[in-house]
Structure 1
């Protein structure tokens, strides 16, 4: 659970904006479990302008080809301090601190053939100039068959460990997964050798199901789709992806449906396009499927309705403590998911209407392993409903959902 800067700031976030968001996060979201604060892509690009990436520009970097926060955007990083001052600030608020990295070695470092720290090898020696990112030109890949390749990754993660980083999102690595598998393994080794525990998230998706065992052994989060935004067709497509991945979830290894595009987004130009019903449906699906909950909107403009959506503790308990999550059925426009409460005999039931008109959606209690009747609580409203006998059903609006606890 946490916050990430991409949906609201793209590549442009500054230290001032980061600190302001961290303050709100610590005050409003941390009490409910949101504790990972992440600065997303291109914090090393002095002139980043938005969602597009400039090509061939100078990047902030040390003499060993390791990227540094651009000091014009992150003044506390000046003098070689890196992200340590900002990480220390996040930690002082009770937050964990995360950053984004691209797979590979900076093209500038390889083209200038900078030395790899502690070795006789150089960045140009390890650069894979063929397997490169198709949407960002900052880095080449790293050819893990070359001497010095692992040492380079080790040096990068040793540096960010010294800054106090707790979470790393490595991009351009989960797709194509099997081609990039040697670099995924290299990143895992580098983290393990860094001397600091760090959660590893890999992007973009979708990660192939054929990699389920490998990815769970090397990453803590992996994306199940490409970038997710506030459009109903994209939300609709996450139902099948999360259902497919549900059997592969385990503690410490989470299929990731991506950030929650809520509130103020896109450099402050607009608010979420999801309707209130669609916002609740997204949160209900993420909760029952146990996807990481990572807020994407600008927290400086956090409104009461969005805050309430994010901080319903009964709903968050489903996400954090549910077990045996699975899709119960998908018939026409009706879907149901279920999971078990970890500390009781209760069952969670999520019902969805993905159609364009109101429909009654329900489930037989026997399908939830409930023999006779059940007490029912609506987790979104906190109200107790009439006892269910053999079946529980509700009428849901178009694109609507409900989340219930039955015992």
Structure 2
């Protein structure tokens, strides 16, 4: 009889922990969470949105040193339009997933390169606090969502996601996010790389095109910088 997979993982993790160069362990199942690295959340044949939903259920397990892995990015591989690639990359980034590029970079469009190379979105993924963003608001038909999570230095990331076939106004409420409802905040659109010219309080309400996302960095208006 072969040893249990968890025993193999234990020997691998402990056998390599003293190596001078970094190692990265990837496996499946909650048993692997004790050994660091990443653990796959679903097979690659599942849709991007279904995988994001599954990953959300396991958010409490993510932490610095061990991450929920929703699998390789499909941005640039076809089968999705540009706005859907943007949703894909945004969700993987805020969930602190390993951003493993799965396309042939020598063949992709400039639009794809702009998505994969957005330094402000990548910075959210690499934030040192290491907290996975979660789904905090969902419409009755499950087509409109707000995802949010805390970042270092008192900042938050907020994703307004529209899964519906038509454009829709999406509203993120401070109370749902976990903020003081009367706290004034600055907001920066990470895809447009532009900071809103007014302070907002209580909620952030933006019209989002069909199958698209608006991704914001927000921070208290008492601060002067988002970096």
TM-score range, shorter chain: 0.7 to 0.9
Whole-angstrom CA distance in 2 between matches of 1:188 and 1:384: 43
Q: Distance in 1 between matches of 2:214 and 2:62?
A: 23
TM superposition shift of 1:276: 0.7
How far 1:186 moved relative to its partner?
3.1
> What is the CA-CA distance between 1:241 and the residue it aligns to?
1.3
Aligned length: 212
Residues 90-112 of structure 1, C-alpha deviation per residue, up to 9 Å, x if partnerless?
xxxxxxxxxxxxxxxxxxxxxxx
Query: Which residue pairs with 2:200 in the alignment?
Result: 388
Partner of 2:176: 367
1:193 to partner: Cα distance: 6.8
Task: For residue 239 of structure 1, report the CA deviation from its aligned partner.
Answer: 2.6
Instruction: Give the counterpart of 1:258 among 55, 58, 71.
Output: 71
Q: Give unmatched runs, 5+ long, in structure 2.
A: 220-227
Alignment of 1:70-85 (within 5 A): none
Matches of 1:195 and 1:347 in 2, distance apart? Answer: 35
Distance of aligned partners of 1:403 and 1:189 in 2 relative to their CA distance in 1, 3 Å threshold: same
Q: CA RMSD in A?
A: 2.1
Q: Which one of 240, 250, 266 corresponds to residue 53 of structure 2?
A: 240
Question: SS of the residue aligned with 1:357?
Answer: coil
User: How many angstroms apart in 2 are the aligned matches of 1:352 and 1:193?
Assistant: 43
Could you give the per-residue CA deviations for residues 37-67 of structure 1, whole angstroms, max 9, x where no partner exists?
A: xxxxxxxxxxxxxxxxxxxxxxxxxxxxxxx
Alignment match, 1:319: 125
Structure 1 362/345 Cα, relative in aligned 2: closer, same or farther at 3 Å? Answer: same
CA distance in 2, matches of 1:375, 1:190: 47
1:195 to 1:372, Cα distance in 2 relative to 1, 3 A: closer
Q: Given the alignment, which residue of 1, 5, 8 partners 1:183?
A: 8
Matches within 5 A, 1:147-296: 180-192=5-17, 196-202=21-27, 207-208=28-29, 211=30, 214-228=31-45, 234-263=47-76, 271-296=77-102
TM-score, reference length from structure 2? 0.84
- Kept after mapping to 2: 8 A contact 1:346/1:406: yes
Instruction: Tell me if the contact between 1:247 and 1:326 (Cα under 8 Å) persists in the aligned partners.
Output: no
Deviation, 1:338, is 1.0
Residue 190 of structure 2 corresponds to 379
- Residues 391-406 of structure 1 aligned to structure 2 (within 5 Å): 391-406=203-218
1:254 partner SS = strand
**CA distance in structure 2 between the aligned counterparts of 1:328 and 1:358, rounded to whole angstroms:** 20
1:308 Cα offset (Å): 0.9
Give distance in 1, aligned partners of 2:11 and 2:166. Answer: 50
How has the CA–CA distance of structure 1 residues 222 and 388 changed in structure 2, closer, same or farther, with 3 Å as cutoff? same
TM-score scaled by length of structure 1: 0.49
TM-superposed deviation, 1:190: 3.7
Taking CA–CA contacts closer than 8 Å with sequence separation of 6 or more, which of the two structures ends up with the larger relative contact order? Answer: 2
2-structure distance, mates of 1:379, 1:192: 37
Cα shift at 1:405: 1.2
1:182 CA displacement: 2.4
Query: Is the contact between residue 6 and residue 32 of structure 2 (CA under 8 Å) also seen in structure 1?
Result: no
| Rounded Cα–Cα distance in structure 1 between residues aligned with 2:8 and 2:154 | 43
Segments ≥4 residues shifted beyond 3 Å = 192-197
